[in-house]
Amino acid sequence: MADTIHIDGHPISPDHYINGRRVTSTETFETFCPVDQKVLGKISAGLDEHVDAAVGAAQAAFPGWAALGAAGRLPYLERFAEEIGKREEALALAEANDAGVLLSRMRHGIVPRAMLNITWFAKEALTLQDRVIETAQAIHQVRHDPAGICAIITPWNSPLMLATWKAGPALASGNTVVIKPPEWAPLTTSLLADAADAAGLPPGVFNVVQGMGATTGARLVSDPRLARISFTGSVPTAKLVASAAAANLVPCSLELGGKSPFIVLADADLDAAAATGALMYRNAGQVCLAGTRFLVHESIRDAFVEKMRAVVANLVVGDPRDPATEVGPIIHPRQVERVAGFVERAKAAGATTLWGGERHDFGPQYFQPTMFCDVSNDAEIVQQEVFGPVLVMQSFASDEEAIALANSTVYGLGGICYGEQDHAQAVADQVRTGFIWINSFTIRDLAAPFGGRGQSGVGREGGEWSFDFFCDVKDVITPKHPFKASFAHR
Ligand SMILES: NC(=O)C1=CN([C@@H]2O[C@H](COP(=O)(O)OP(=O)(O)OC[C@H]3O[C@@H](n4cnc5c(N)ncnc54)[C@H](O)[C@@H]3O)[C@@H](O)[C@H]2O)C=CC1
Ligand SMILES: O=C(O)/C=C/C=C(\O)C(=O)O
């Protein structure tokens, strides 16, 4: 049994949300603040019975929710987004305290995006039944039938955004959901359940079961009643999730890590590239889509290094609840050790430290914004995702070399290319990733596809790709002329 958690006076339930009710557990785990290691509270841990009950509730609620149709679901989901908005401050404070995300980014970026994730897909779902393919022979009406119960598994680096990014299209298209939030940052998903409840979503439509990945998560993804699994997280866990999904032939969408290239061509605006480059330290580098691998043309390499060094030197590392802070903490001591391990091994392998390279004195879960160079292309620091404020720089002599280097990891999530527009476009076209920004970063539209190639993921979410994933697409065919039954034709 766990007590209500209070973050700056905002109450947060520590319990699961199953079938429209809070459900407590005999087992708990602690969540704490990465800034000062203060324990924020005890959280109910999901036992098998909780997972089974949540999936059962989602199953029972599915026919009624699906039968409402997109228009019938719209008012519920608009109220859901409104209720998220009413909790803006609680959500912002919860994720800043629980995950170390900047409070200002939560208020101005993430909470509005979470609301949009719900309303945009709810409205877009209205158009789903309208697709018609007309031929000389027949009219094909393309239906998007809701698939059923969807399991949603989220990571700790952006739990609110990612829960809504997945639940938005799943719910809008008539599915019911069971969300398993990350054990290192569960609080905002609990507040999301409050918002769903206040919005009057029918019991069982939206469920949250908290707990450890290896137990609660594993139980959830192996449930044969599931129709879909949408997962964001690491590659090793994705393989476990995909295996469990395969055992029941459940389609899964996997959004995973990356080692995305940040290419700076010889004709780039170096001031702009350096300013954007420093953004790779956002969320202490715990951002899947960050360009963590700098590829800089040899002719401008030294000038670029000095410009970026100057921007990075002015970054404010500190408490994410302080409006002046730009770079916050690493989520967990285990992740700090992981980052430190990458740094030590890079140094041992002979990498040169351009800046940073040490723990930051702000606190035990802080690391200096770091950049390495002088490494071979097969070095671990070049090939593996660190998921911390640690970047690496290589230089190149030609576009062909830049493209070959960009495409030389197992990943293929995102990319960034700075240069004269046509030149950057030509290079970007040949980089093997799910998306790539030209002279920019993090411009996102919910209609656009999001996901990665290679070890960065399977499938795409966003816009019609989300609906294709969360729906069973069906073709209803009506002939234009009287149909003549004949064995001679197909
Ligand atoms: N491509 C993308 O959109 C994003 C990818 N990521 C990736 O996620 C990773 C960081 O997140 P983490 O939370 O450490 O990843 P993780 O893979 O350890 O955990 C992700 C989620 O899976 C759950 N989980 C763990 N074992 C499970 C199992 N056997 N069955 C079912 N669920 C299980 C965890 O409890 C958590 O909720 C990074 O590698 C990062 O690149 C993070 C954010 C976005
Ligand atoms: O913009 C999106 O849809 C996804 C963004 C994901 C991240 O920034 C992340 O969590 O790393």
The pair of three-digit structure tokens given for residue 487, joined into one six-digit string? 């064995």
> Is the CB of 439 inside a 6 Å radius of any atom of ligand 1?
no
**CATH number, domain with residue 399:** 3.40.309.10
Catalytic residues: 255
Instruction: Clarify whether residues 232 and 123 are in a common domain.
Output: yes
> Is position 124 within any domain?
yes
Instruction: Clarify whether residues 291 and 193 are in a common domain.
Output: no
Phi and psi at residue 292, to the nearest 5°: -95, -5
Q: Tell me which of 411, 438, 465 is where a domain ends.
A: 438
> Is position 486 within any domain?
no
> Is the CB of 183 inside a 6 Å radius of any atom of ligand 1?
yes
Model confidence at 402: pLDDT above 80: yes
> Is the CB of 185 inside a 6 Å radius of any atom of ligand 2?
no
> Is the CB of 255 inside a 6 Å radius of any atom of ligand 1?
yes
> Is position 361 within any domain?
yes
pLDDT, residue 490, reads 63
Which residue minimizes the CA distance to atom 3 of ligand 1? Answer: 255
Instruction: Clarify whether residues 198 and 283 are in a common domain.
Output: no
Instruction: Clarify whether residues 132 and 209 are in a common domain.
Output: yes
Model confidence at 346: pLDDT above 80: yes
**CATH number, domain with residue 44:** 3.40.605.10
Instruction: Clarify whether residues 220 and 329 are in a common domain.
Output: no
Ligand 2 atom closest to the Cα of residue 157 is 10
Q: Tell me which of 414, 438, 462 is where a domain ends.
A: 438
> Is the CB of 214 inside a 6 Å radius of any atom of ligand 1?
yes
Q: What is the ipTM of this complex?
A: 0.94
pLDDT, tens only, 276-329: 999 999 999 999 999 999 999 999 999 999 999 999 999 999 999 999 999 999
Nearest ligand atom owner, CA of 161: 2
Instruction: Clarify whether residues 158 and 40 are in a common domain.
Output: yes
Ligand 2 geometric centre to CA of 437 (Å):
14
Instruction: Clarify whether residues 281 and 228 are in a common domain.
Output: no
Residues in CB range of 267: below 8 A, 6 or more apart: 419, 420, 423
Q: Tell me which of 438, 461, 483 is where a domain ends.
A: 438
> Is position 384 within any domain?
yes
Q: With bands split at pLDDT 50, 70 and 90, how would you rate the model's confidence at 131?
A: confident
Nearest to 390 by CA among 476, 284, 268: 284
> Is position 482 within any domain?
no
Global pTM reads 0.96
Mean pLDDT calculated for residue range 6-19: 98
Instruction: Clarify whether residues 251 and 264 are in a common domain.
Output: no
> Is position 489 within any domain?
no
> Is position 275 within any domain?
yes
> Is the CB of 354 inside a 6 Å radius of any atom of ligand 2?
no
Instruction: Clarify whether residues 189 and 301 are in a common domain.
Output: no
> Is position 445 within any domain?
no
Ligand 1 geometric centre to CA of 267 (Å):
38
Ligand 2 geometric centre to CA of 161 (Å):
7
Instruction: Clarify whether residues 162 and 276 are in a common domain.
Output: no
Burial category of 60 from C-beta neighbours within 10 Å (exposed 0-12, middle 13-18, buried 19 and up): middle
The pair of three-digit structure tokens given for residue 320, joined into one six-digit string? 């994410």
Instruction: Clarify whether residues 151 and 226 are in a common domain.
Output: yes
Which of 101, 118, 157 is the pocket-test mutation for ligand 2 (most atoms within 8 Å of CB)? 157
> Is the CB of 155 inside a 6 Å radius of any atom of ligand 1?
yes
Ligand 1 geometric centre to CA of 157 (Å):
9
Ligand 2 geometric centre to CA of 152 (Å):
15
Return the percentage of the chain with pLDDT > 90, whole number. 98
pLDDT, tens only, 49-94: 999 999 999 999 999 999 999 999 999 999 999 999 999 999 999 9
**Domain hosting residue 305, numbered range:** 260-438
Model confidence at 37: pLDDT above 90: yes
Please tell me the total count of domains within the chain: 2
Instruction: Clarify whether residues 205 and 318 are in a common domain.
Output: no
Nearest ligand atom owner, CA of 331: 1
Which of 117, 234, 386 is the pocket-test mutation for ligand 1 (most atoms within 8 Å of CB)? 234
Mean pLDDT calculated for residue range 162-181: 98
> Mean pLDDT across the chain, nearest whole number?
97
Which residue minimizes the CA distance to atom 13 of ligand 1? Answer: 155
> Is the CB of 289 inside a 6 Å radius of any atom of ligand 2?
yes
